[in-house]
Amino acid sequence: MNTIVWKVDKYVDNLERNPQVVDAARFLRENEVVAIPTETVYGLGGNAESDEAVEKIYMAKGRPGDNPLIIHIAEKEQLNRFVAEIPAKAQILMDKFWPGPLTIIFKLKEGILSEKATAGLATVGVRMPAHPVALALLKTCGLPIAAPSANSSGKPSPTKADHVIDDLNGKIAGVLDGGSTGVGVESTVLDCTEEIPVILRPGGVTKEQLEDVIGKVVIDRALVDESAKPKAPGMKYRHYAPNAEMYLVSGSREFLQQLVVEKRREGLQVGVLTTKEYQYDYKADVVLACGERADLESVAAALYDTLRRFNQLNVDVIFSEMFPGSGVGEAIMNRLQKAAGHKVITEK
Ligand code: AMP
Ligand code: MG
């Protein structure tokens, strides 16, 4: 299959009439799959009401069939078609955070969406992306669009159209290239089917921001306790992993440098993941600055691109600094822990 790359300027008015967007929408209506820029990461979109389209998403990504897809909409009214009820807290959150990086889990109204999209669950995760190209496409095609991240399953999520092409060229109908995404980590997944909402995956909207509008929110125990079964099926899979063996280092920069020296003595190519503040403090084969520590949002935005750059630079081992676990740091640390397979080296 020839994968079309449609360049789209996200700052142009009237994107709904942009020929590239109209083209991509036609592919979606024909049950083909198309990669779409959103404010979090690129998504791989397909008609959520079509088994055929949804199967193509799972196939292209190599995604396990028990991992449900997030459904994307452009208007809140679209929810009534496939959601059984909208709890009061969910309504407040939608009004406050949509469009934006918040996925809300609702009880499913059966018989509308492809059962493959929801992996046969009685619930469904929905969000409205805050990206002009994604919103224009959703409005133009008029369908609920199932869209997981547009990477091969297990790899770091794509934050540029080039990342999508690296993983999925020839496997999907096209990619709308709207430049780099903004937030850089995926949406927060919040289960609103319970009286006290539960964060199943930390992401672009923080726990503090949620609690400011609806009061108490809890975090799925599985996010802190490795032996507990996660409520979001996707959270149990290895994810975001670079090709190299990766370790998180809890300790001083001197300690991290010492680990680098030891590995280099073994003849390995060693990479360090740090931030702009400290990039010249290390001596290693590759030192990459992932944003600025003083601005954790910049770290989130650069994270997946940094992990993918290590792949291109062919390092064998990566030592990564750690980040504070509050605010967007919670999502950053969740992704880094998974990328490293939870391997942490602590200075004694
Ligand atoms: P991705 O689209 O690759 O960013 O992953 C979506 C995440 O949302 C995965 O971890 C899914 O398991 C989770 N998810 C989607 N729908 C549901 C649902 N109905 N209940 C719980 N988790 C869900
Ligand atoms: Mg994903």
Angle at which helices 161-168 and 296-312 pack, to 10 degrees? 40
Burial class (CB in 10 A: 0-12, 13-18, 19+), 101: buried
Cα 178 from Cα 40, distance rounded (Å)? 12
Q: What is the mean pLDDT of the chain?
A: 96
Q: Looking at domain 4-236, which CATH architecture does it have?
A: Alpha-Beta Complex (3.90)
pLDDT reading at 333 higher than 80: yes
- CATH 3.40.50.11030 range(s) for the chain read 245-346
Q: What phi and psi values does residue 71 have, to the nearest 5 degrees? A: -95, 130
Give 35 Cα–ligand 1 centroid separation in angstroms: 18
Ligand 1 atom closest to Cα of residue 125: 16
The whole-model pTM stands at: 0.95
Confidence of residue 35 (pLDDT cuts 50, 70, 90): very high
If one residue of 41, 44, 70 were mutated to test the ligand 1 pocket, choosing by the most ligand atoms within 8 A of its CB, it would be 70
Residues 245-346, CATH architecture: 3-Layer(aba) Sandwich (3.40)
Signed CA dihedral, 337, 342, 347, 348: sign only: positive
Delimiting residues of CATH 3.90.870.10 domain(s) in the chain: 4-236
Give the pLDDT confidence of 60-109 residue by residue, as tens digits.
999 999 999 999 999 999 999 999 999 999 999 999 999 999 999 999 99
Q: How far apart, in whole angstroms, are the C-alpha atoms of residue 281 and residue 180? A: 28
Question: Is residue 238 predicted with pLDDT exceeding 80?
Answer: no
Judged by its nearest atom, the ligand closest to the C-alpha of residue 235 is: 1
Nearest CA to ligand 1 atom 12: 234
276 Cβ contact list (under 8 Å, min separation 6): 289, 291, 292, 293
Structural contact between residues 256 and 86, judged by C-beta atoms closer than 8 angstroms: no
- Looking at ligand 1, which residue's alpha carbon is closest to its atom 20? 232
The pLDDT assigned to 135 comes to: 98
pLDDT at 228 over 90: no
Copy the structure tokens of residue 337.
């822990």
> ∠ at Cα 304 (323, 117), nearest 5°?
115
Ligand 1 in contact with 163 (CB < 6 A)?
Answer: no
Confidence of residue 226 (pLDDT cuts 50, 70, 90): confident
Q: How far is the CA of 252 from the centre of ligand 2 (A)?
A: 32
